[in-house]
A and B are shown apart, each in its own frame.
Chain A
Amino acid sequence: MWSYDKRLQFPVNIKEPNAKLAQVIISQYGGPDGEMGASMRYLSQRYAMPYREVAGVLTDIGTEELAHLEMVATIVHQLTRNLSMEEIEKSGFANYYVDHTVGIWPQAAGGVPFNACEFQSKGDIITDLMEDMAAEQKARTTYDNILRLVDDPDVCEPIKFLRMREVVHFQRFGEALRITTDKLNSKNFYAFNPGFDCDECSGKN
């Protein structure tokens, strides 16, 4: 279960609306490498984890991703509040506006709706941790790409914070993989699935 704190993990106070930027940043809300996919990926993968400490890493990083989801939504919200109709039309925001006004809805920058196919929960600890490490890198690249488009420090600071979290999470997933391989037979890490195959059929050698 969860509890909620009524504050952001990192402050977001954007003064200047910018609908063009909002349409790009929304990708980290509901896009292919966004925070919604990140949190759902890690929290869903936990149930097939044979080792408690690795499931713990997934819980804590998955929970932090929910806080990032709220930060990204806040950035998009503050970039689109108080927009004039003229700005909506000029910035290309009208296509989003017609379906959602300025509500927050999970989609990629290109308009593709959020889809669970953007992440995997494979039920295999090595496969899932490799996916998680790749996911952190994909999100990091997306934030790099966003940073090239931003010159407002009010937007830049929280994006820089979110980007660095991807690097830290990559390190933690890498360590979780080390914890995992240390428990497996180094002659053949792939002999069996420790979260699925029983001890008797796993050969134990």
Chain B
Amino acid sequence: MQDYSCDDQIAKFPVAMAYVPWQKFDRMYDDLEKAYCYGTVFPELNKPFTGRRCV
């Protein structure tokens, strides 16, 4: 089993709470037509579903 006691970033956060990392605005997609079809203008949030049998 992996040793989680090592000093990683998240270990500094208080326990018994959930944390989502802050998004830092860097850039939007250059092709906004494509961004519209993806459903987000932020490349770092583009997390499409690939589990279907016919992609």
Contacts and interface: CB of A to CB of B under 8 A. Distances in A.
Interface residues of B, number: 24
A177 B46 CA distance: 21
Given A148-B53, A151-B54, A161-B37, A167 B20 contact: no
Contacts of B39: 10, 160-165, 167-168
A144 B51 contact: yes
Summarize B's interface: helix, strand, loop or mixed. loop
Contacts of B36: 10, 161
Contact of B48 (A130, A133, A164): A164
B48 A177 contact: no
A187 B14 contact: yes
B29 interface: no
Nearest to A186: B14
A25 to B, nearest CB: 15
A167 B47 contact: yes
Interface of A: 10, 130, 133, 143-144, 147-148, 151, 157, 160-165, 167-168, 170-171, 173-175, 177-178, 181, 186-187, 189-190
26 contacts: A144-B49, A144-B51, A148-B53, A160-B37, A160-B49, A161-B37, A163-B39, A164-B40, A164-B45, A164-B47, A167-B40, A168-B42, A168-B45, A171-B23, A171-B45, A174-B19, A174-B20, A174-B21, A175-B20, A177-B18, A177-B19, A178-B22, A186-B14, A189-B14, A189-B16, A190-B16
